């Protein structure tokens, strides 16, 4: 089963990488971009076939390793294959 975890900084947490990209886009004349936030995407291939059990396991992975839950939020997706 394929699972996608998207991790992004929580609202209100400074994103210096996003600010640098925003500045670069403006410098390149890409106007109309109000803000940029940079995150990460983690794609997992797991052996679990039950979606509920998979969500429980991946949530534990996020809480313990994949996301710093003090400053980051995450979402878990199960794309159709």
Domain count along the chain? 1
pLDDT given for residue 8 in this prediction: 98
Q: What is the pLDDT of residues 27-60, one digit of tens each?
A: 999 999 999 999 999 999 999 999 999 999 999 9
Average pLDDT, the chain: 97
DSSP 28: T
> Residue 77 pLDDT > 90, yes or no?
yes
Compute the distance between CA of residue 43 and CA of residue 5 in angstroms, rounded to an integer. Answer: 6
Structure confidence at residue 73 as a pLDDT band (50, 70, 90): very high
Token readout for 71 is: 């400053």
Domain housing 60: 2-77
> Residue 81 pLDDT > 80, yes or no?
no
Token readout for 73 is: 């939020």
CATH number reported for the structural domain that contains residue 59 in this entry: 3.30.1280.10
């Amino acid at each position: 089963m394929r699972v996608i975890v998207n991790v992004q900084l929580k609202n209100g947490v400074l994103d210096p990488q996003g600010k640098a990209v925003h500045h670069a886009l403006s410098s390149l004349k890409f106007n109309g971009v109000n803000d940029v936030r940079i995150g990460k995407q983690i794609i997992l291939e797991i052996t679990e076939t039950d979606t509920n059990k998979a969500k429980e396991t991946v949530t534990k992975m996020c809480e313990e390793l994949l996301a710093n839950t003090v400053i980051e939020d995450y979402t878990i997706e199960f794309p159709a294959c």
